[in-house]
Each structure stands twice: as structure tokens, then as C-alpha cells.
Chains A and B, each alone.
Chain A
Amino acid sequence: MAVLLLADVNGAQLATDAVAKALTAVKGLGEVHLLVAGPASAAAEAAKLEGAAKVLHAEDAGHGLAESLADLIVGLAGGYSHIAAPATAFSKNVLPRVAALLDVMVLSDVTAVVDADTFERPIYAGNAIQTVKSGDAKKVFTVRTAAFAAAGNGGSAGVEAVAAKSSDLSTWVEDRVAASDRPELTSAKVVVSGGRGVGSKESFDLIEKLADKLGAAVGASRAAVDSGYAPNDWQVGQTGKVVAPQLYVAIGISGAIQHLAGMKDSKIIVAINKDEEAPIFQVADYGLVADLFAAVPEMTGKL
């Protein structure tokens, strides 16, 4: 049977990296069709992803709102054994709605596809990994993109138009997406994150300067977000984003379990913290016990 993979569209842009990684996760399950609800440019971008047999394109006026998008997916569901998506805020909004309409359970944040019915996923903030077998006729799931390599972009799948659905239940008003020259957090090769130890919104500038020197994305712990030092979309952890960059630099972050859940699969972890007992040092490849207010500007200067 075939797989329908919902492709994230944020604003008018395809979330290419997330979709390419989810594609790798599901390609062993059957022929993959990508569903793009957005502008034709996003569908054309999706058609280049290697491993996609076909792109279904709905010219969407609903900004990917859950009610109309779920109706669209349910209308297409008949031809598919699996309906999947990257585990992003965009898809987590939609796929549980799809699953309920199909009277099946949803699986969130799948980290391994064992076979057509069996999946691995983290529970309890990644403190346990559960292997579950679904007894449902159709499997609906989201894929934790950090667990998979991105598919290449040398493909040329055909694009087929499908009719978008509309719903009067909800109306888009506006997106406030922070414009940034930095790489996107979940696909960045380097991430520099600050925690409560950074102390203020102003001091977060130190983190951002180091990030810019390294060409990195900026992350934050939940404590830093709760304290108002950093915006919520920078949050790395159980309730934020899950990242697995080549290099993760944790600055002034104690290393609460909820934060580790979001970054412990990074290739190299660096911790800079003045408390040598901080749990972050137990997962760091390189630890520097130092005052971040001295060490971080020094590092930025010497790179």
C-alpha cells in the first residue's frame, strides 16, 4: 500500500528539511505521495525530493488550518495504508484530528519504523522508548525528524492537483514569524542555547553573538523561555523542539531532563556552566566550568 505524507507549509514556504527527513522515515513502507496544501512553488519544491512518487497539490487558501486540512486528508485517505507527517507544530495540529475522523489512534514523534504496524517512540520526555504495534486498519503518525537523514533533492515527481476543502469553523488572522538570517533551529548544523544562567533578555545577546559567529541557530531552555529571556519558538526540550545538530553548545543550562529530551541526540555537546555539579556535564562531550559572562565573549572573540 502507499503512504500519504503531509508536507508542512509555513507561510508560503515548504518546510523542506523536515519533509525530506520524514520522507526517509516512511519510504520503506510503500510508494510515497506528498500532499502539499499551499502555493504551486511549494509543490514544485516538494516534487524535487528523492523518493516521492507523486505530489498532490491543493491550492490552499486556509493557511493550513486544521479543520479544512484534516477534511482534505480524510477525503484522500482511502488509497493509503499510512498517513504520516513530520512531527512539527503544523502537523501535530492536524494529524490527531485526521486520526479521530478515521477512528484510529495517532502515534506522535515516531523515532523508528520497525515494520508496517510497529513503531518506536519516546515517552516521559525521552526517559523511556516504547515499541508499539498498532491494530488499526490505517496508521496515522508523526515522525521525529531529528532521528532521520534528509532525502536528497534530485527527484522529479509529477504534480497532480487535488481540490482543497474549506471550513467556516476557523479563520486565519495573521502569522508573526520572526524574520531571521539564522538557520532554522531543527535543521541547523550548529545550535547555541542559553538557559536560566544567562540571567536576562539583554544578556541573551551574548548567546546570539556566539551563534552568529558559528553560523548557528539559537536555542533556549524552558527556564529561559519561562523567564522571558527568549521567545518560545527557540525552546529546545520535551515541550519545545527536538534537535540533533553536529554541535550543540549549552550555555548556563543546568540540564533538566526535559531539556535533555530535546538535544541529547546531538553529535557533539558542549556545556559551559559555572556549577560543576550541573547535570548537563553528564551528557557533554566537552565541559567548561566557567562564568559564562567571561567565557562566552572570549569564545566569540577567539573563533
Chain B
Amino acid sequence: MKVLVPVKRVIDYNVKVRVKADGSGVDLANVKMSMNPFDEIAVEEAIRLKEKGVATEVVVVSIGVKQAQETLRTALAMGADRAILIEATADVHTDIEPLAVAKLLAGVIKEEAPGLVLAGKQAIDNDMNATGQMLSALLGWSQATFVSELAIDGDKAVVTREVDGGLQTISVKMPTIVTVDLRLNEPRYASLPNIMKAKAKPLAIKTPADYGVDVAPRLTVVKTTEPAGRKAGVKVASVEELIAKLKDEAGVI
């Protein structure tokens, strides 16, 4: 079974985000970029399935700017076999919307025919949490979102999902789209020899036109602003003082 994993290049998890002065978005020029953390978990799970003999090949796909090649090389260094980059924009500030991404991925899937797609549940830049569900809808496949445990059993997958009040187990028909949550696994670091080896692995470059997809946005950004700040309050010296403040000053207990 072939496993396909979409990966996104996003601002690094630890970088302090700055809103651009003109309000058009967040400043991404000369900022450290990394693989979306949820996508790392998806890549790790795909590699583990290959190590267990469940998967035969792991193909990673990224959609965005040409610099996303670095993100794909990271996935190849972790252990993916092959990469596809769809260069959809030359501007690092252009975020291709989940609907367009899902349409492009659907095009890739028609060519590649994977048995399973493993995706991150959300990207930490636009926080939309949508691409996996949209892709599943476009393909008419089953979907398993926010997954913290995955077991493939022939023509179905049994998954544990992180839901509002706890956990839910469902069984989905293969092929399926799984979006992964934090606790599915802990992604590995690529070793130096594997980073060197990854440079020789195949990376195909495509364009949206190859899949006949229009990536024009449906949403127009009117403005981007800093959130209203919160001021630091006072330090209290003791538990008694804290309780007194909460009772008498704030009136919340």
C-alpha cells in the first residue's frame, strides 16, 4: 500500500509572529521556516507503517513556494521515499487556501492512487483545520480526523479520535484520509547520513496547471491586526492576599 503525506512549510513553532505594518498579513521574510509540526507526526506515522510492512512506499507532497523543497527534503531525510512539489506561487506571503490545496491533492491522488493519506490536523499558520476533510469530500472517501491511534486492518482502519469530551473510536473504509493529532507519535529526528541520502531521492516539480486547478483565493484579506494586548497586573505576596484580592477586588470567588 502506498501512503501519501501532504506537508506544509510554515513559520517555525518557536518564532515570534509579527504583523506587517501595512496590515496585509504576517511578516515571513527572513523568518525561520519549518515543517508544520502536525505534518511531522503524519510523516512519522507513514514511515512507521512502512517499517511494519503495512506500507510499501511513502510519497510526500507540498504545495506552495519553491522553498518548500527544503520541507520535502526534511521528510525524505526522515524516511519518505519520494517527493512532489507543486509550485503554486512565487510569493512567500501567499497562502494557498485549503480548498485549492485539497483540489491539487485530489489531482495527485488520481495519479498516485495511494491506499491511505496521512495529514496533519491543522497548519499552525492559518489554523484552519480543513484540508483533510475537504480532500476527503472531493474524493468521496471516508475521513478520520484528530486521530491519536491508528490500526489498519485489511480494507478498513480502526482509529481513536480526540473529540470534545474524551475519545471516540470509529472504523473507516479504505482508502481513507486520516488527520493526525499530537499524541499519535513522537516524530524522529533525521540522522546526518539520512540527510545526505535524502539529497539523492527523487523530487518532482509540478504546477497547478498540470492538475487543471485554479488556485485563485476565495477569501480576500481586508486587514490583519495585532490582538488586543493584556497588561500585566500585580504580584501578590501570599496565598491570603491572593484570596482576598479575588474576593474583594475582582469579585470572582
A189 to B228, CA, bound (A): 22
Residues of B within 8 A of A1 (CB): none
Q: Mark A264-293, 1 if CB is under 8 A from B, else 0.
A: 100111100000100001111111111000
- Decide if A106 touches B164 in the complex (CB within 8 Å): no
Interface segment among B79-87, B107-115, B231-239: the answer is B231-239
In the complex, whether B128 has a CB less than 8 A from a CB of chain A is yes
Q: Mark A87-115, 1 if CB is under 8 A from B, else 0.
A: 01110111111111101111111000000
A49 to B226, CA, bound (A): 34
- Decide if A284 touches B133 in the complex (CB within 8 Å): no
B25 to A: closest C-beta gap in Å? 8
In the complex, whether A247 has a CB less than 8 A from a CB of chain B is yes
Q: Mark B123-147, 1 if CB is under 8 A from A, else 0.
A: 0111111111111111001111110
A281 to B233, CA, bound (A): 8
Q: Mark B87-131, 1 if CB is under 8 A from A, else 0.
A: 000000000011100100000000000000000011011111111
Interface segment among B59-67, B168-176, B189-197: the answer is B168-176
Q: Mark A41-56, 1 if CB is under 8 A from B, else 0.
A: 0000000000000000
- Decide if B26 touches A124 in the complex (CB within 8 Å): yes
A295 to B241, CA, bound (A): 12
Number of interface residues of A (CB under 8 A): 91
Residues of B within 8 A of A65 (CB): 170
Give the contacting residue for A190; candidates B131, B163, B252; CB below 8 A: B252
In the complex, whether B52 has a CB less than 8 A from a CB of chain A is no
- Interface core residue of A93, A175, A267, A303 (most chain B CB under 10 Å): A93
Residues of B within 8 A of A214 (CB): 253
A294 to B14, CA, bound (A): 32
Give the contacting residue for A286; candidates B148, B158, B234; CB below 8 A: B234
Which residues of chain B in 207-231 are interfacial with respect to chain A, using CB atoms and an 8 Å cutoff? Answer: 217-227, 230
A168 to B170, CA, bound (A): 12
Given A97-B137, A238-B127, A247-B252: A286 and B245 within 8 A (CB)?
A: yes
- Decide if A105 touches B99 in the complex (CB within 8 Å): yes
In the complex, whether A205 has a CB less than 8 A from a CB of chain B is no
In the complex, whether B165 has a CB less than 8 A from a CB of chain A is yes
Residues of A within 8 A of B161 (CB): 89
> For chains A and B in complex, what number of residue pairs have CB atoms within 8 angstroms?
262
B32 to A: closest C-beta gap in Å? 14
- Decide if A238 touches B124 in the complex (CB within 8 Å): yes
Interface segment among A24-32, A75-83, A132-140, A157-165: the answer is A132-140
A90 to B168, CA, bound (A): 11
B162 to A: closest C-beta gap in Å? 5
Which residues of chain B in 35-70 are interfacial with respect to chain A, using CB atoms and an 8 Å cutoff? Answer: none
Give the contacting residue for B242; candidates A88, A94, A99, A286; CB below 8 A: A286
Other 4 A-B pairs with CB < 8 A, given A133-B219, A257-B16, A286-B246: A124-B17, A128-B226, A131-B225, A302-B243
The 9 A-B pairs with the shortest beta carbon distances in the complex, nearest first, are A285-B233, A100-B134, A96-B133, A96-B130, A169-B142, A100-B137, A127-B17, A177-B165, A173-B169
